[in-house]
Amino acid sequence: MSVTVYVPCDTTALAMGADAVADTTRQAANQRGVELNLVRNGSRGLFWLEPLVEVATPNGRLAYGPVKAADVDSLIDAGLFEGKTDHPLALGPTDDIPYLKNQQRLTFSRIGVTDPLSIDDYRAHRGFAGLEKALNLDGQAIVDAVKASGLRGRGGAAFPTGIKWQTVHDEPAGQKYIVCNADEGDSGTFADRLVMECDPYLLIEGMTLAGLAVGADQGYVYLRSEYPVAHRIFSEALARAYDAGYLGRDIRGSGRHFDLEVRLGAGAYICGEETSLLDSLEGKRGMVRAKPPLPAIKGLFGKPTVVNNVLSLAAVPFILDQGAQAYADYGMGKSRGTLPLQLAGNVKRGGLVELAFGITLRELMEDFGGGTLTGRPLKAVQVGGPLGAYLPQSQWDTPIDYEAFAAFGGVVGHGGVVMFDDTVDMGEQARFAMEFCSVESCGKCTPCRIGAVRGVEVIDRLRAGENVETNRELLADLCDTMVDGSLCAMGGMTPFPVQSVMKHFPDELTHRPT
């Protein structure tokens, strides 16, 4: 008897004991004389079920989870290898799990399905189909497709990707670079990591397409050092892509070239800001550069450079393969396509949810997230990382859309959604925003470097009940100064969470909730 079992190999599954589950499954199969094909796939993104073990059957894959090593024997006794489902951990067909079934996975279509390092598996699931088409196109045609798709940057600022590419394309021929921002510093985010750990060829394909589009033959991935598993898997994928002729000189006999390397960051939030990232890539301390000149004109080593987030680049292969319209058909208003949302914080069912723009936060948090893990009422949610506003209940019916969020001072950012129950102390959260900025500021401009330190002090005085009205006014003024006077969005957005607390939870700046 031969059976194929899938045990994920990404950071989340490993943290939950996936290696032990894989080892135990191998030993048990050996003892029982079962020929086992054990595939270390990526995570499906249903984190509360990790390690999520799957078994292949003639009718599709069946899921079991969360599986611990100690569960393996009882699962096998109950018929795991035969695809039986008479076990408390049996979840039925993987594709029918509502959390997965109700998503619109374009970028994440292969994640959890394939063996991350198998090029054959990648190709069998439409991998490199976009690249193969693009190898016959000129750069402008690729740029046009990305423009027509309506794709906007998924790293935070939501700048139209095609327009950025056009600017680099239009610079005179010469050395140009593609830089992938894989610093993923936002709280509650992990989508970039999942791409790199679970579908690394997708990013390689997306960056190669960017290179072909703008005329760049060198790319760098700037990866946060806190992601050692992503570093290992992605580096191995790079080596295999070179061996298979998908990178390097004369890609698949096309006469086109693209080289790609990974560089590790050193743990500074500000190195996710694109100009600071470029300084860091150049071997300097990461300090924000004044713009203009834009990186698209004068970027890495002073050369025209595309800087894009992992998710922006990972969306492009679908666009080239299925067509710009197929991507643009999803979404609402000027927010086209899908967004890989990341549910985190105090949530019952945390994980990756890729959906077209337009779903409301409430639907996301309730239908997918299942409410809070503690079972207590949800009180606030922070979307878009540590610089995003705290959204109270009255804003949860807003559709997730860049413009709809901007209308009330919110940001969609990288799609991180961090939930808080009613025990959260919003005054403490406001203080944390200023404290975070004071620690992570690059120090180049005064409103941020000094303002954040003063911000912590003013909030401390408010919390101590000192001159409450005066200090409230001072805090409001300070926030305005930081928003208006900071050189980059670090100092410019730190006030957003603070202002949202001042507006929606004003009493908690001076009194702790009981």
Residues lying near ligand FMN in the complex (CB under 6 A) are found at: 153-157, 159, 181, 183-185, 269-270, 272-274, 307-309, 312, 488-490
Q: How far is the CB of 17 from ligand FMN (least distance, A)?
A: 29
**Shorter beta-carbon distance to ligand FMN: residue 36 or 437:** 437
Q: How far is the CB of 237 from ligand FMN (least distance, A)?
A: 20
**Shortest distance, position 488 Cβ to ligand FMN, whole Å:** 5
Binding site partner of 71, from ligand FMN, ligand SF4, none, Cβ cut-off 5-8 A by kind: none
Nearer to ligand FMN by Cβ, of 41 and 181: the residue is 181
Contact partner at residue 241 from ligand SF4, ligand FMN, none, CB < 5 to 8 Å by partner kind:
none
What is the contact surface with ligand SF4 in residues (CB under 6 A)? 270, 288, 441-445, 448-449, 486-488, 490-491
Question: Which tokens sit at 374?
Answer: 């503690």
Q: Distance between CA atoms of 151 and 61, rounded to whole angstroms? A: 32
Which partner, ligand SF4, ligand FMN, none, binds residue 46 by CB below 5 to 8 Å per kind? none
Which helix or strand (DSSP H or E) is residue 362 part of? helix 361-363
Smallest gap from Cβ 345 to ligand FMN, in A, equals 18
Q: In 3-state terms, what secondary structure has residue 358?
A: coil
Cis peptide before 172 (omega within 30 of 0): no
| Minimum separation from the CB atom of position 334 to ligand SF4 (A) | 27
Q: Are 62 and 83 in contact (CB under 8 A)?
A: yes
Which residues are 420's β-sheet partners?
Answer: 380
Residue 351, beta-bridge partner list: 46, 343
Q: Pick the closer one to ligand FMN by CB: 158 or 355.
A: 158
SS3 252: helix
Structure tokens at 272: 């996710």
Which of 313/488 has CB closer to ligand SF4?
488
Q: Residue 272: which of ligand FMN, ligand SF4, none does it interact with, CB under 5 to 8 A by kind?
A: ligand FMN
CB of 156 to ligand SF4, least distance (A): 13
Which partner in ligand FMN, ligand SF4, none is near 442 (CB below 5 to 8 A by kind)?
A: ligand SF4
- For residues 135 and 489, which CB has a smaller minimum distance to ligand FMN in the complex? 489
**Residue 455 — φ and ψ, nearest 5°?**
-60, -45
From the CB of 274, what's the least distance to ligand SF4, in Å? 12
CB-nearer residue toward ligand SF4: 333 or 443: 443
Structure tokens at 180: 């992938």
What amino acid occupies position 417?
Answer: V
Alpha-helical regions (H) of 199-289:
200-214, 228-243, 274-281
Residue 182 β-bridge partners: 223
Instruction: Name the burial class of residue 418, with classes exposed (0-12), middle (13-18) and buried (19+) by CB atoms within 10 angstroms of its CB.
Output: buried
Instruction: Report phi then psi at 229, rounded to 5.
Output: -70, -45
Binds 48, which of ligand SF4, ligand FMN, none (CB < 5 to 8 A, cut-off by type)?
A: none
Neighbours of 173 (CB within 10 A): 8
Which partner in ligand FMN, ligand SF4, none is near 99 (CB below 5 to 8 A by kind)?
none
Quote the CA–CA distance of 467 and 455 in Å, as a whole number. 15
Q: Could you say which of ligand SF4, ligand FMN, none residue 487 binds, taking C-beta under 5 to 8 angstroms by partner kind?
A: ligand SF4
Residue 53: φ, ψ to 5°: -95, 140
309 binds, among ligand SF4, ligand FMN, none (CB under 5 to 8 A by kind): ligand FMN
* CA 230 – CA 45 distance, rounded (Å): 15
Q: Which of 43, 6, 39 is nearest to 340 (CA)?
A: 43
Give the strands of the sheet with 338-345, arranged side by side: 351-356, 338-345, 416-421, 378-383, 390-392
Smallest gap, in angstroms, from Cβ of residue 126 to ligand SF4? 40
The nearest distance, CB 291 to ligand SF4, in angstroms, is 11
Which CB, 417 or 437, lies closer to ligand SF4?
A: 437
- Nearer to ligand SF4 by Cβ, of 56 and 489: the residue is 489
